Amino acid sequence: MKSVAIFRLYAIEGPGYLAKYLDSHNIPWKLIKIDSGESFPSDPEQCSGLVFMGGAMSANDDLPWIRQALSLIKQAVGLGIPVLGHCLGGQLMSKALGGQVIRGATKEIGWGKVSVTNNPIAREWLGNLSEFETFHWHGEVFTLPIGATRLLSNKYCENQAFALGIHLGMQCHVEMTEEMVKIWYEVGSKEIVNNTGPAVQISKVAQQDLANRIFALNEIASRLYTKWIASLAL
């Protein structure tokens, strides 16, 4: 059975809840630490699916591994191998598939609601949900690639998620765990101090009722991941 390849692009932005979800469904996965110098697979057909996590860098940075990631995404989509992107991962998907990654009007850091768009494809991924609270940490945003459908949106970021057939790219972070929220705020404390705005939460606010918020977000992630794994090339 082929494994899902999960690409960690930044040390503190691992698979989080996704790892627990895949384990609970007996789906093998392998963490590839791009941030530590590990390499992308030469052939995406070695994997049942590709997952790109988040990171502090930009999809527009001139880094060798970013060029490799863009090429791998294009190959996988061409071969019908499911691709899943979280935040930077979603931005890489957009750029690889013909979209653009640009600076957002404001940074989003912390918890915030997103609306589910009213179209049949969004319903396939999220059922009858109209909105939910998710976690954010981004300053850049992506445009929709040609042929993609917007799934999620909010007033700070028009494109919070898109689907292109079996492929799912997200700007928001549905993979969060309690530990990840705490670590990100610890590591990113200077970024919080240097950025204020209507969509930036301080640590104390973001960690209020954290266990219940994470539990609810895990339920949302499960819906999205369940739809995504249905097309894995196991």
Tokens representing residue 76 in the block: 């996988």
Q: Please check whether residue 29 lies inside any domain of the structure.
A: yes
State residue 82's pLDDT score: 98
Alpha-carbon torsion 187, 64, 48, 52, what sign?
positive
Buried b (16+ CB within 10 A) or exposed e, 180-207: bbeebbeebeebbeeeeeebbbebeebb
196-206 mean pLDDT: 93
Q: Please check whether residue 85 lies inside any domain of the structure.
A: yes
State residue 35's pLDDT score: 97
Q: 231 pLDDT exceeds 90?
A: yes
**What pTM was computed for the model?**
0.97
Our CA angle for 104, 53, 226, nearest 5°, is 105
32-52 mean pLDDT: 97
How many domains does the chain contain in total? Answer: 1
Q: What is the CATH number of the domain that holds 183?
A: 3.40.50.880
State residue 197's pLDDT score: 85
Helix intervals (H) in the chain: 17-24, 64-79, 88-96, 120-126, 178-187, 189-194, 203-206, 210-229
Distances (CA, A) of 139 to 43, 62, 76, 197: 32, 18, 27, 12
Question: HSE-up of 211 (CA within 13 Å, CB side)?
Answer: 0
State residue 192's pLDDT score: 87
Q: Please check whether residue 174 lies inside any domain of the structure.
A: yes
User: Which is more confidently placed, 233 or 218?
Assistant: 218
HEC letters along 32-65 = EEHHHCCCCCCCHHHEEEEEECCCCCCCCCCCHH
Residue 57 main-chain phi, psi, to 5 deg: -85, 175
State residue 215's pLDDT score: 98
What is the band of 83 on the pLDDT scale with cuts at 50, 70, 90? Answer: very high
State residue 31's pLDDT score: 98
State residue 138's pLDDT score: 97
What is the band of 164 on the pLDDT scale with cuts at 50, 70, 90? Answer: very high
Position 190, amino acid = K
Q: 196 pLDDT exceeds 80?
A: no
CA gyration radius, the chain = 16
197 in Cβ contact with 179 (< 8 Å): no
Q: Please check whether residue 123 lies inside any domain of the structure.
A: yes
103-121 mean pLDDT: 97
Distances (CA, A) of 136 to 169, 170, 223: 14, 10, 19
Q: 234 pLDDT exceeds 80?
A: no
Q: 195 pLDDT exceeds 90?
A: no
State residue 29's pLDDT score: 98
136-144 mean pLDDT: 98
State residue 1's pLDDT score: 78
170 in Cβ contact with 137 (< 8 Å): no
Residue 94 main-chain phi, psi, to 5 deg: -60, -50
Domain span at residue 24 reads 3-229
Q: Please check whether residue 176 lies inside any domain of the structure.
A: yes
Distance between first and last Cα of the chain: 5
15-27 mean pLDDT: 98
66-75 mean pLDDT: 98
Q: Please check whether residue 234 lies inside any domain of the structure.
A: no
What is the band of 208 on the pLDDT scale with cuts at 50, 70, 90? Answer: very high
156 in Cβ contact with 106 (< 8 Å): yes
State residue 233's pLDDT score: 86
The residue with tokens 């009722």 is 209
80-96 mean pLDDT: 98
